[in-house]
C-alpha cells in the first residue's frame, strides 16, 4: 500500500475497500457532517470520536475530509488488538519520523514525544480505537492535556468504541464531538450507490433493491465487495451491464444472505 509523503495516509484510491476500480467519493450526509465536525475540532484543537458498526465508511470519511481540510498536518495510527502504551509510544515515534534511537525509559520517551508534539500543530487519527485499554486512553489524554503539546485527536472505532470511550469519564468529558455512523437507508442506497460506481449507474433500480434486501443493506463495505466481484465476473463474461443472473452468481460466493 503506497503512502503519501505529505499526509502519511494511504493514497486516496486505497481508501476504497479492495482498491475498487472506478469507485467514486460520494458526499453522503454522514461524510459532509464528518467534514463539518472535523473543521470545528481542528479549529478548537479538540478531540472527536467517530464510531459505528464495521463497513459504514467512518475511516474513509475521516481520511477524505482531512485530506481537504488539513493536508500535511495529520497522522493516522491503526491499532490492533489490545495495544499497550509502549506500542503507542513506538508508533508515534515512527509516524512522526522522529529519528535516532528510541528512549529506553518511559519517562524519557514521553518527554521526547511531548517536545515533538509541541513543535507544530498536528492531528492524530487513532483508528480501531475500540481496542484501547484504560491505560492507553489515559495516555492519549495526558498527551492532549499537556500545556505544551499542540494537537487535535480523532478516535475512530467500530463496535463497542462508544462504550469503551464513554467508560473513561476523564477522557469522555473532553470529547468535543461524538458522531455515530449508521447504515444507509433504502432510500439513501438508491441515491448513493449509482453515484458510487458506474456499474450501478446503469443498473436496473430493481437489481439495486435486490442487492440491498438480500445482501448489502446499507453497508458500504459489502457494496464494495459485491461490486468488485461483479466487475471481475462481467469481465470474464464479456458483459458490460449488471443483471440479476450475474448478481445471483456473486451471491453464491457470499455467506449470511437473507
Q: Which domain holds residue 243?
A: 186-251
Is the separation of the CB atoms in 69 and 35 below 8 Å? yes
Between CA 258 and CA 250 the distance in angstroms is 14
User: Does residue 2 belong to any structural domain of this protein?
Assistant: no
pLDDT band per the 50, 70, 90 thresholds, residue 78: confident
Query: Checking phi first, is residue 226 left (phi over 0); if not, alpha (psi -120 to 50) or beta?
Result: alpha
| The pLDDT of residue 6 is above 80 | no
Helix (H, G, I), strand (E, B) or coil at 185: coil
Segment 181-228, tens digit of pLDDT: 999 999 999 999 999 999 999 999 999 999 999 999 999 999 999 999
Residues 134, 101, single domain; the answer is yes
User: Does residue 225 belong to any structural domain of this protein?
Assistant: yes
Average pLDDT, the chain: 92
Segment 130-180, tens digit of pLDDT: 999 999 999 999 999 999 999 999 999 998 899 999 999 999 999 999 999
DSSP class of residue 77 equals E
User: Does residue 96 belong to any structural domain of this protein?
Assistant: yes
Residues 51, 143, single domain; the answer is yes
> Rounded mean pLDDT of 63-76?
94
Q: What is the number of structural domains in the chain?
A: 2
User: Does residue 171 belong to any structural domain of this protein?
Assistant: yes
Backbone φ and ψ for 249, nearest 5 degrees, come out as: -65, -40
Sheet strands (E) in the chain = 47-52, 74-78, 122-127, 151-157, 175-181
* Domain end among 127, 149, 181: 181
Helix (H, G, I), strand (E, B) or coil at 3: strand
* Domain end among 149, 181, 213: 181
Residues 141, 199, single domain; the answer is no
pLDDT at 254: 87
Torsion of CA 183, 171, 33, 124, to 10 degrees: -100
What's 150's domain CATH number? 3.40.50.300
pLDDT band per the 50, 70, 90 thresholds, residue 44: very high
Amino acid at each position: 500500500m503506497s503512502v503519501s509523503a505529505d499526509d502519511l495516509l494511504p493514497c486516496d484510491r486505497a481508501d476504497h475497500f479492495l482498491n475498487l476500480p472506478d469507485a467514486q467519493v460520494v458526499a453522503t450526509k454522514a461524510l459532509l457532517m464528518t467534514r463539518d465536525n472535523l473543521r470545528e475540532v481542528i479549529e478548537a484543537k479538540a478531540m472527536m470520536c467517530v464510531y459505528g458498526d464495521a463497513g459504514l465508511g467512518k475511516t474513509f470519511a475521516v481520511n477524505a475530509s482531512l485530506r481537504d481540510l488539513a493536508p500535511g498536518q495529520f497522522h493516522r495510527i491503526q491499532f490492533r488488538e489490545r495495544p499497550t502504551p509502549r506500542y503507542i509510544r513506538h508508533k508515534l515515534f515512527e509516524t512522526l519520523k522522529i529519528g535516532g534511537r528510541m528512549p529506553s525509559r518511559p519517562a524519557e520517551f514521553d518527554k521526547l514525544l511531548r517536545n515533538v508534539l509541541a513543535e507544530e500543530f498536528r492531528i492524530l487519527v487513532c483508528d480501531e480505537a475500540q481496542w484501547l485499554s484504560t491505560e492507553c486512553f489515559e495516555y492519549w489524554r495526558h498527551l492532549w492535556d499537556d500545556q505544551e503539546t499542540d494537537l487535535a485527536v480523532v478516535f475512530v472505532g467500530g463496535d463497542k468504541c462508544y462504550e469503551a470511550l464513554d467508560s473513561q469519564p476523564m477522557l469522555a468529558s473532553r470529547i468535543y464531538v461524538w458522531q455515530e455512523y449508521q447504515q444507509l437507508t433504502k432510500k439513501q442506497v438508491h441515491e448513493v450507490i449509482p453515484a458510487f460506481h458506474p456499474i450501478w449507474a446503469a443498473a436496473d433500480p430493481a437489481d439495486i433493491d435486490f442487492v440491498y434486501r438480500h445482501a448489502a443493506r446499507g453497508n458500504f463495505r459489502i457494496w464494495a465487495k459485491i461490486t468488485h466481484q461483479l466487475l471481475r465476473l462481467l469481465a470474464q463474461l464479456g458483459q458490460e451491464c449488471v443483471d440479476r443472473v450475474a448478481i445471483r452468481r456473486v451471491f453464491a460466493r457470499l455467506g449470511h444472505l437473507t
